[in-house]
Structure 1
Amino acid sequence: MIVTLIRHGQTDWNLAGRIQGSTDIALNETGRQQARDAAAALDPSIATAVYSSDLQRANETARIIAAAHGWNGPHIIAPLRERFFGEAEGLYNHEFLERFGPWATAEVPGAETRAEIRVRISAALRDVVAHAESLGIDPTTRLIAVSHGAMIAELLRSLTDGAYPLPGEGIANGSAHDFFVTDDDIRWLSPVVAD
């Protein structure tokens, strides 16, 4: 099945440059508008089910998207939740850099590793597909899943041998990425770029 993975809308902590991780922060008004914009960008004929992590910023984004199209859900898939950042949770980005150094090489006590994230997000996408199959959803149907920036970024890094996202580049709030998901394969359906 194809799963469209969407990053939740903006929160006040996103705006302030604070690391949320698994801290449960609500959307702000900009985030709610980003969720409406994400819904408007989706073809209303492509999906029947919406999934989200158990954190309220993802769940509210998913509820807005589902309501806009009359789709089922959101169904909660807890492993879609954001990376646990250990001692970095709640820090401002500049505090993180001062304390732990550059993101790419930082080792944060108590934080999930990139390898752990890759295993978890891959399993979460397979859980989404398995749940949809248990509901009898047509396998040609696209599924929508709302997750978090670090999770989506790490999945993309694992599927592109680190080529995307570029260093210092994040996953935008409300952005969408399509993946083809089976029991033994996950592929990013990236846009074709002309030479």
Structure 2
Amino acid sequence: MQIALVRHGQTDWNKTLRMQGTSDIPLNETGRGQALEAAVLLSDEHWDAIVSSTLSRAAVTADIIAERLGMPVLERDVALIERAYGEVEGLTKAQATERFGTEWPGEESYEALQERAVAAVDAVAARHGVEHLVIVTHGTFIRAFADAVTGLETRTPRNAESIRFEGEPGAWVPSEGMVLV
């Protein structure tokens, strides 16, 4: 099985470097264009199904990709949402650090995110049982998944960038697009 983990397109909060987390911030016009560019790149390959996070920035990115590929989005899964940043959502990292230091109230730990990301991708892949699956989700979620399955430190993908893995639930290996820090 091959999966493409696609980060959603840009939002205004991405542009101003604000922490989004579970806040439901919509795509901006640049983000819609990025989603279409991702769709064009994906259309050069065969994909069997598309799923996404329930947050609108990922859902709309998935809708744009699905339209280009001529298939529906099969599922919106809350388990695919971004890392929760608690009380610092809407702030820049500098503002969050100034206000709270390095311990942010309500933040999901990176380890918990890694476990959730692997479990979510495994569950979605097992549920849909297709050979080629597009999963539209979030940057830190994708990095956490990649770090967990490889045991390496990777970078957060850019908006609308895809990272590919091959394998099966419980046994994923990177195949394309992953960048080590």
| TM-score normalised over the length of structure 2 | 0.90
The aligned residue for residue 91 of structure 1 is: 91
* Distance in 1 of aligned mates of 2:167 and 2:105: 32
1-side partners of 2:104 and 2:154: how far apart?
Answer: 23
Which sections of structure 2, spanning at least 5 residues, go unmatched?
A: none
Which has the higher mean CA deviation after the structures are superposed, 29-38 or 68-77? 68-77
Q: Which amino acid aligns with 1:185?
A: A
Alignment of 1:1-195 (within 5 A): 1-101=1-101, 106-133=102-129, 137=130, 141-165=131-155, 170-190=156-176
Query: Please, what TM-score do these two structures have when normalized by structure 1?
Result: 0.84
Q: Contact 1:48/1:72 (CA < 8 Å) preserved in 2? A: no
Question: Distance between the aligned counterparts of 2:48 and 2:146, measured in 1?
Answer: 25
Distance 1:75 1:179 in 2: 20
Aligned-residue sequence identity (percent) comes to: 38
The superposition leaves residues 68-96 of structure 1 with CA deviations (integer Å, 9 ceiling, x where unpaired) of: 01023141121110011112111123202
Cα 1:157–1:70 change in 2 (3 A) is same
Q: CA RMSD in A?
A: 2.0
Separation in 1, partners of 2:88, 2:120: 24
Gaps in structure 1 of 5+ consecutive residues: none
Shift in Å, 1:98: 2.3
